[in-house]
Amino acid sequence: AQSVTQPDIHITVSEGASLELRCNYSYGATPYLFWYVQSPGQGLQLLLKYFSGDTLVQGIKGFEAEFKRSQSSFNLRKPSVHWSDAAEYFCAVRTSGTYKYIFGTGTRLKVLA
């Protein structure tokens, strides 16, 4: 069965520091990959997505993610974190033949001033 793993439940970084959130998936073929952000009590906002082509994808709010087939990973990065980035981040996978998403358990980001 397909699965998504986000190894880090909580991450704390200082404002201005760089950020990397990890995401690993389990699926035989190349999946469709997404990162969403959820602020407290809010809905899920799409940050970026990967379907094919260039393995480095750019998203909104200065985020980027890199698809690495050899590592089955799709890590999210940001060079300089802002206090407003504090939120929960979900990696999601959609596999061919179905349109439902499978979400990881999320990583809660805390930003220190």
Partner 1 sequence: AAGVIQSPRHLIKEKRETATLKCYPIPRHDTVYWYQQGPGQDPQFLISFYEKMQSDKGSIPDRFSAQQFSDYHSELNMSSLELGDSALYFCASSFLSLENTQYFGPGTRLTVL
Given 31, 104, 109, 111, the residue binding partner 1 (CB under 8 A): 104
Site membership for partner 1, residue 34 (CB under 8 A): yes
Stretch that binds partner 1, among 15-23, 32-40, 54-62, 67-75 (CB under 8 A): 32-40
Residues 6+ apart with CB under 8 A from 92: 4, 33, 34, 35, 36, 101, 102, 103, 104
Q: Which residues sit opposite 37 in a β-bridge?
A: 45, 89
Q: For residues 81 and 102, what is the distance between their CA atoms, to the nearest angstrom?
A: 27
Question: CB-wise, 10 or 16, nearer to partner 1?
Answer: 10
**109 is a site residue for partner 1 (CB under 8 A):** no
Q: Token digits for 88?
A: 């929960």
What does the binding site for partner 1 look like in residue numbers (CB under 8 A)?
32, 34, 36, 41-46, 49, 51, 90, 94, 98-106
